[in-house]
Structure 1
Amino acid sequence: MQLTALVENTRLDNRADLTVERGLSFHAATMGKQLLFDAGNSQVFCDNAELLNINIQDIDAAVISHRHHDHCNGVTHFLARNSEAPVYFRDCEDTEYIFKAFGFRSNVSFNKNMFSQSPQRFKFINTFTEIYPDIFIVTEISNKYPRPEGNKYLFTKKGDDCDSDTFEHELLLIVKEHDGLIIFTGCAHSGVLNMVETTVQLFPNMRIKAVVGGFHLVGLPLFNSIGGSKEDIVSIGEALLSYPIDKLYTGHCTGLKAYAILKGVLGDRLEYFPTGRSVSI
């Protein structure tokens, strides 16, 4: 797999021509297919793709990890630049998504008008689905481990009712190559450990070449605080070491402080993945 970060909160130091935003989008070329995983919050991922010599029209499918604007809103621009590829979402109830903390409130929902833009392009998944040979969308995610502490600020809203978000809108993407698995987490609101555990249950005794995406270990993004305690983050890192994972590429909602703590545990297995970086896995 050739993996490229089309947009993330930061960028490579030598790529000042690329634009960043608080969002996430990856391009993956694997087994004769090109995949878009998440689409950021705007057209930025499209603009960066052109600068990175990636043609959006050539993408075979887009997979959206969950329904927050910083992963979804770019889909409208994807549809305008790619005339055929299906766009996969997890099937779920229609609701609004809210961030609330210490009296501050923000709507983090996505632009739902996109569903009427090209309705035939959208595929809503509610079960384990092989979208191409050895490329899988997973909707049932393990609850073996605690979910991220930062989730406590995230809610769903229907009418006047506001409830804690249970992330029934989140999915997991797994690519099974001949020499191992690549796991795409999005924001891992269900917990990166739960996503890895789910993968191990589905594909026992297989090497995990890489885990890619945000781990939502940030608490309050504005202050780059960590979700939970330092000891919590260390425990997550130690648990990740117990799995057969070669590399972890992360950024976005992991948070720089939590990343530094994880790096102290995982060492060379963990790398930051900013806008413009491309690796062969």
Structure 2
Amino acid sequence: MKITILVDNYATQLSSLSKRLLSEWGFAAYVHDYRILYDTGLTGTALLNNMRALGIDLNEPEYLVISHRHIDHTGGVRAFLNARSRPIKMIAHTNLFTKAYATSEGGKLEDISVDFTREYLESRGVELILIKEPYRIANDVIVSGEIPRKWGPSHTGAVTDEVPDDMALYIKHPNGLIALTGCGHSGVENIVEYGFQVTGLNKLYAVIGGLHFMGLSEDRIRQVTNYLANKSPSIVIGTHCTGILGIAALYNAMPRASRLGGVGSVIEL
């Protein structure tokens, strides 16, 4: 099984030079085996450039799963849909179109909502599936739906709400649970434990995506890395809002499991 990181804050590989890959604040990943595009990044520029550079046909994805409504995960939706010539199934939380805000470094309230409408999606032939409960794409692939916050705290940072729409993509693998997460606003413990509950698995194989360590205290980061280390995953890849210091903390806690993400990274599972 293969997952490619298409949008990330970072370019970490030398091949980014020869392939002219672009990084930007945001996240997107492609699950090749199930033709699932998970998030679209901030602008669409990096997404389209990187898909083309990596030889992924824009018409290939059959599903577009939105981790949550923030613009750094949904900002590429219009560019992606406009560049396609066939419809797609789009799975998102029921509050996809609810306004979202974050407080900037200067204390200003910033609008980080989606920049498209339901009518626009319909005009592009999108089959929009809005959910709160787990949604099964395939026998071993489940969109989490709304993740309960009963095993640990949320990771909301400067965001002004608890981001109830934060949804992970769970994949049942022979080696255990794979959890793909956009920003991890639900909190790592909640994402993993709910994944166990939804899939019936009890072994963590991989965690990939944003964990929103940015803005967390050192104690909280230590709690999360200790929790993950105790689960003994084989692969941990912190991207996007995990932050540079957060990625370093993951490596220090789990040097054998931790890997770098970055645009163009291909994860064989």
* Equivalent in the alignment of 1:6: 6
1:23-70 CA-partner distances (Å, limit 9, x unpaired): 11101112xx21101111122211111101111211111101000001
What is the one-letter code of the residue matched to 1:154?
V
In the alignment, structure 1 residue 68 sits paired with structure 2 residue 70: yes
The separation in 2 between residues aligned to 1:273 and 1:208, in whole angstroms, is 19
* Cα distance change on mapping 1:152 and 1:216 into 2, 3 Å: closer
TM-aligned CA deviation for residue 242 of structure 1: 2.0
Counterparts of residues 13-24 of structure 1 (less than 5 Å): 13-14=13-14, 15-16=16-17, 17-24=20-27
* Equivalent in the alignment of 2:147: 141
The separation in 1 between residues aligned to 2:195 and 2:224, in whole angstroms, is 17
Normalization by structure 1: what TM-score?
0.86
Q: 1:186 aligns with which of 182, 187, 194?
A: 182
* SS of the residue 2:73 aligns to: helix
Contact conserved, 1:185 with 1:192, CA < 8 A, in 2? Answer: no
* Equivalent in the alignment of 1:280: 268
Greater CA deviation, 243-252 or 184-193? 243-252
* SS of the residue 1:141 aligns to: coil
Runs of 4+ in structure 1 off by over 4 angstroms are: none
The separation in 1 between residues aligned to 2:157 and 2:239, in whole angstroms, is 20
Percent identity reads 26
TM-aligned CA deviation for residue 152 of structure 1: 4.7
Contact conserved, 1:250 with 1:273, CA < 8 A, in 2? Answer: yes
What is the one-letter code of the residue matched to 2:10?
T
What is the one-letter code of the residue matched to 1:262?
L
- CA-based RMSD of the aligned residues comes to 1.8
* Equivalent in the alignment of 1:126: 132
* SS of the residue 2:256 aligns to: helix
Contact conserved, 2:188 with 2:211, CA < 8 A, in 1? Answer: yes
TM-aligned CA deviation for residue 249 of structure 1: 1.3
* SS of the residue 1:201 aligns to: helix
In the alignment, structure 1 residue 52 sits paired with structure 2 residue 54: yes
In the alignment, structure 1 residue 239 sits paired with structure 2 residue 227: yes
* Equivalent in the alignment of 1:99: 102
Counterparts of residues 208-247 of structure 1 (less than 5 Å): 208-219=204-215, 227-228=216-217, 230-247=218-235
* Equivalent in the alignment of 1:112: 116
The separation in 2 between residues aligned to 1:78 and 1:131, in whole angstroms, is 21
In the alignment, structure 1 residue 153 sits paired with structure 2 residue 140: no
Normalization by structure 2: what TM-score?
0.90
What is the one-letter code of the residue matched to 1:97?
A
What is the one-letter code of the residue matched to 1:140?
E
Contact conserved, 1:212 with 1:249, CA < 8 A, in 2? Answer: yes
Give unmatched runs, 5+ long, in structure 2. none
The separation in 2 between residues aligned to 1:197 and 1:80, in whole angstroms, is 37
TM-aligned CA deviation for residue 12 of structure 1: 3.0
* Equivalent in the alignment of 1:174: 170
The separation in 2 between residues aligned to 1:29 and 1:120, in whole angstroms, is 20
TM-aligned CA deviation for residue 179 of structure 1: 4.0
What is the one-letter code of the residue matched to 2:42?
N
Structure having the higher strand fraction is 1
Q: How many residues align?
A: 260
The separation in 2 between residues aligned to 1:209 and 1:184, in whole angstroms, is 11
The separation in 2 between residues aligned to 1:278 and 1:152, in whole angstroms, is 28
* Cα distance change on mapping 1:51 and 1:201 into 2, 3 Å: same
TM-aligned CA deviation for residue 90 of structure 1: 0.8
In the alignment, structure 1 residue 259 sits paired with structure 2 residue 259: no
Contact conserved, 1:183 with 1:211, CA < 8 A, in 2? Answer: yes
* SS of the residue 2:59 aligns to: helix
The separation in 2 between residues aligned to 1:233 and 1:245, in whole angstroms, is 17
The separation in 2 between residues aligned to 1:34 and 1:192, in whole angstroms, is 25
* SS of the residue 1:240 aligns to: helix
What is the one-letter code of the residue matched to 1:146?
P
* SS of the residue 2:102 aligns to: strand
